[in-house]
Amino acid sequence: MSLLKEPDFGTPERPGPARVSVEIDGMPVAVPEGTSVMRAAAQAGVDIPKLCATDSLEAFGSCRLCVVEIDGRRGTPASCTTPCADGMKVSTQTPKVEKLRQGVMELYISDHPLDCLTCPANGDCELQDMAGVVGLRQVRYGYEGENHLDAEKDTSNPYFDFDPSKCIACSRCVRACGEVQGTFALTIEGRGFDSKVSPGAGETFMDSECVSCGACVQACPTSTLQERSVVELGMPTRSVVTTCAYCGVGCSFKAELRGDELVRMVPYKDGGANEGHSCVKGRFAFGYATHPDRVLKPMVRDRITDPWREVEWDEAIGTVARRMREIQDRYGSSAVGAITSSRCTNEEVYVVQKMVRAAFGNNNLDTCARVCHSPTGYGLKQTFGESAGTQDFRSVAEADVIMVIGANPTDGHPVFASRMKRRLREGAKLIVVDPRRIDLVRSPHIEAQHHLQLRPSTNVAVVNAMAHVVVTEGLVDRSFVDQRCEGFDDWAEFIARPENSPEAVEEITGVPAEELRAAARLYAEAPNGAIYYGLGVTEHSQGSTMVMGMANLAMACGNIGRDGVGVNPLRGQNNVQGSCDMGSFPHELPGYRHVSDDAVRTVFENLWGGTLLAEPGLRIPNMFDAAIDGTFRGLFVHGEDIAQSDPNLQHVTAALEAMELVVVQDLFLNETAKFAHVFLPGASFLEKDGTFTNAERRINRVRAVMKPKTGKHEWQIVSEIATAMGYPMSYDHPSQIMDEIASVTPTFTGVSFEVLDKLGSVQWPCNEAAPEGTPIMHVDEFVRGKGKFVVTSYVPTNERSTRRFPLVLTTGRILSQYNVGAQTRRTGNVAWHPEDVLELHPHDAEDRGINDGDMVTLASRVGRTTLRAEISDRMPTGVVYTTFHHPVTGANVVTTENSDWATNCPEYKVTAVQVALARPDRHSDTEVTDNELVTVVD
Amino acid sequence: MTATVPSERRMANDIAANLGHLPGERAAEEIAGHIGRFWDPRMRTRLYEFVDAGADGLDPLVVAAVKLLR
Give the per-residue pLDDT at A891.
Answer: 82
Is B37 close to A594, i.e. CB distance below 8 A? yes
Taking the CB of residue B66, how many other CB atoms lie within 10 A of it?
A: 22
Regarding whether A541 and A488 lie in a shared domain, the answer is yes
Whether A792 maps to a domain, the answer reads: no
CA A373 distance to own-chain centroid? 13
A670-687 core/surface letters (b: 16 or more CB in 10 A; e: else): bbbbebbbbbbbbbbbbb
Note the helical H segments in A139-239: 172-175, 215-219, 228-233
Give the per-residue pLDDT at A415.
Answer: 98
In this complex, which of A617, A650, A903 lies closest to B40 when CB atoms are compared? A617
Give the per-residue pLDDT at A774.
Answer: 98
Q: Residues of A near B (CB-CB distance < 8 A)?
A: 334, 363-364, 494, 541-542, 545, 586-587, 594, 596, 615-619, 621-622, 625-626, 631, 648, 650-651, 654, 791, 793, 795, 798, 861-863, 896-897, 899, 901-904
pLDDT (tens digit per residue) in A842-854: 999 999 999 999 9
In this complex, which of B2, B21, B40 lies closest to A654 when CB atoms are compared? B2
Mean pLDDT, chain A, rounded, equals 95
Query: Residue A165's closest CA among A196, A132, A189?
Result: A196
In this complex, which of B7, B17, B43 lies closest to A901 when CB atoms are compared? B17
C-alpha to C-alpha distance for A608 and A640, rounded to whole angstroms: 27
> Which residues from A are below 8 Å from B39, CB to CB?
616, 622
Is B40 close to A650, i.e. CB distance below 8 A? no
* Residue A220 exposed, middle or buried by CB count within 10 Å (0-12, 13-18, 19+): buried
Query: B14 to chain A, minimum CA–CA distance in Å?
Result: 5
| Domain boundary, last residue among A519, A552, A569 | A569
> Which residues from A are below 8 Å from B14, CB to CB?
541, 798, 899, 901
* Mean pLDDT, residues A561-572: 96
Taking the CB of residue A393, how many other CB atoms lie within 10 A of it?
A: 26
Query: What total number of domains does chain B contain?
Result: 1
Percent of chain A clearing pLDDT 70 (strictly above)? 98
* Mean pLDDT, residues B45-59: 95
* Mean pLDDT, residues A860-877: 95
| Strand blocks (E) in A13-115 | 20-24, 27-31, 69-70, 89-91
C-alpha to C-alpha distance for A925 and A870, rounded to whole angstroms: 18
Distances A106 to A69, A98, A118, A658, A694 between C-alpha atoms, Å: 21, 12, 21, 75, 48
Whether B22 maps to a domain, the answer reads: yes
Regarding whether A879 and A843 lie in a shared domain, the answer is yes
Residue type (1 letter), A134: V
* Mean pLDDT, residues B25-47: 96
Give the confidence band of A884 by pLDDT, cuts at 50, 70, 90.
confident
Regarding whether A201 and A319 lie in a shared domain, the answer is no
In this complex, which of B3, B7, B15 lies closest to A901 when CB atoms are compared? B15
pLDDT (tens digit per residue) in A445-464: 999 999 999 999 999 999 99
Give the per-residue pLDDT at A1.
Answer: 73
Query: Residue A509's closest CA among A796, A766, A88, A289?
Result: A796
Span between the terminal Cα atoms of chain A, in Å: 69
Three-state secondary structure call for residue A204: coil
Taking CA–CA distances from A617, the nearest residue in chain B reads B40
CATH number at residue A883: 2.40.40.20
Distances A692 to A54, A576, A763, A764 between C-alpha atoms, Å: 30, 9, 11, 12
Query: Residue A907's closest CA among A494, A381, A370?
Result: A370
- Describe the crossing of helices A543-556 and A488-495 by its angle, rounded to 10 degrees: 110
* Residue A850 dihedral angles phi and psi, to the nearest 5°: -100, 130
Regarding whether A185 and A102 lie in a shared domain, the answer is no
Give the confidence band of A934 by pLDDT, cuts at 50, 70, 90.
very low
Whether B1 maps to a domain, the answer reads: no
| Domain boundary, last residue among A271, A290, A309 | A290
Whether A9 maps to a domain, the answer reads: no
Whether the per-residue pLDDT at B39 is higher than 50: the answer is yes
Is A596 close to B37, i.e. CB distance below 8 A? yes
CATH number at residue A629: 3.40.50.740
Regarding whether A306 and A277 lie in a shared domain, the answer is no
Is B40 close to A651, i.e. CB distance below 8 A? no
In this complex, which of A364, A795, A899 lies closest to B18 when CB atoms are compared? A795
* Residue A162 exposed, middle or buried by CB count within 10 Å (0-12, 13-18, 19+): buried
C-alpha to C-alpha distance for A366 and A353, rounded to whole angstroms: 9
Regarding whether A548 and A426 lie in a shared domain, the answer is yes
Residue A278 structural domain: 160-290
Q: What is the CA radius of gyration of chain B?
A: 11
> Which residues from A are below 8 Å from B44, CB to CB?
none
pLDDT-wise least confident of A718-722, A917-921, B50-54: A917-921
Distances A534 to A313, A466, A546, B27 between C-alpha atoms, Å: 40, 19, 11, 30
User: What pTM does this model have?
Assistant: 0.95
Whether the per-residue pLDDT at A511 is higher than 90: the answer is yes
Whether B40 maps to a domain, the answer reads: yes
Whether B2 maps to a domain, the answer reads: no
Regarding whether A881 and A868 lie in a shared domain, the answer is yes
C-alpha to C-alpha distance for A762 and A775, rounded to whole angstroms: 8
> Which residues from A are below 8 Å from B33, CB to CB?
none
Whether A931 maps to a domain, the answer reads: yes
Whether the per-residue pLDDT at A542 is higher than 90: the answer is yes
Regarding whether A44 and A28 lie in a shared domain, the answer is yes
A177 secondary structure, DSSP code: I
Whether the per-residue pLDDT at A936 is higher than 50: the answer is no
Regarding whether A926 and A849 lie in a shared domain, the answer is yes
Taking CA–CA distances from B9, the nearest residue in chain A reads A901
Residue type (1 letter), A604: F
pLDDT-wise least confident of A29-38, A148-157, A880-889: A880-889
Cβ neighbours for A283, distance < 8 A, ≥ 6 positions apart: A159, A212, A213, A214, A253, A265, A266, A267
* Mean pLDDT, residues B22-30: 94
Is A541 close to B14, i.e. CB distance below 8 A? yes
Three-state secondary structure call for residue A468: helix
pLDDT-wise least confident of A293-302, A719-728, A913-922: A913-922
Give the confidence band of A920 by pLDDT, cuts at 50, 70, 90.
low
Give the per-residue pLDDT at A938.
Answer: 33
Give the per-residue pLDDT at A890.
Answer: 80
Distances A290 to A284, A313, A462, A668 between C-alpha atoms, Å: 13, 21, 47, 11
Give the per-residue pLDDT at B8.
Answer: 94
Give the per-residue pLDDT at A267.
Answer: 98
Query: What total number of domains does chain A contain?
Result: 5
Whether the per-residue pLDDT at A196 is higher than 80: the answer is yes
A518-532 core/surface letters (b: 16 or more CB in 10 A; e: else): bbbebbbebebbbbb
Give ipTM to 2 decimals.
0.96
C-alpha to C-alpha distance for A895 and A778, rounded to whole angstroms: 37
Is A793 close to B39, i.e. CB distance below 8 A? no
Give the per-residue pLDDT at B4.
Answer: 57
Give the per-residue pLDDT at A819.
Answer: 86
* Mean pLDDT, residues A605-627: 97
DSSP per residue over A271-319, as a string?
A: -TTTTT---HHHHH--GGGG-TT---S-EE-SSTTSPPEE--HHHHHHH
pLDDT (tens digit per residue) in A681-736: 999 999 999 999 999 999 999 999 999 999 999 999 999 999 999 999 999 999 99
Q: Residues of B near A (CB-CB distance < 8 A)?
A: 1-3, 7, 10-11, 14-15, 17-18, 20-22, 34, 37-43
Residue B64 structural domain: 7-69
* Residue A335 dihedral angles phi and psi, to the nearest 5°: -85, 0
Regarding whether A245 and A189 lie in a shared domain, the answer is yes
* Residue A487 dihedral angles phi and psi, to the nearest 5°: 80, 10
Whether the per-residue pLDDT at A930 is higher than 60: the answer is no
A538-547 core/surface letters (b: 16 or more CB in 10 A; e: else): bbbbbbbbbb
Regarding whether A552 and A416 lie in a shared domain, the answer is yes
Regarding whether A748 and A693 lie in a shared domain, the answer is yes
Whether the per-residue pLDDT at A928 is higher than 70: the answer is no
The DSSP H or E segment spanning A628 is helix A620-629
* Mean pLDDT, residues A219-233: 97
> Which residues from A are below 8 Å from B20, CB to CB?
793
CA triple A896-B41-A323, angle to 5 deg: 80
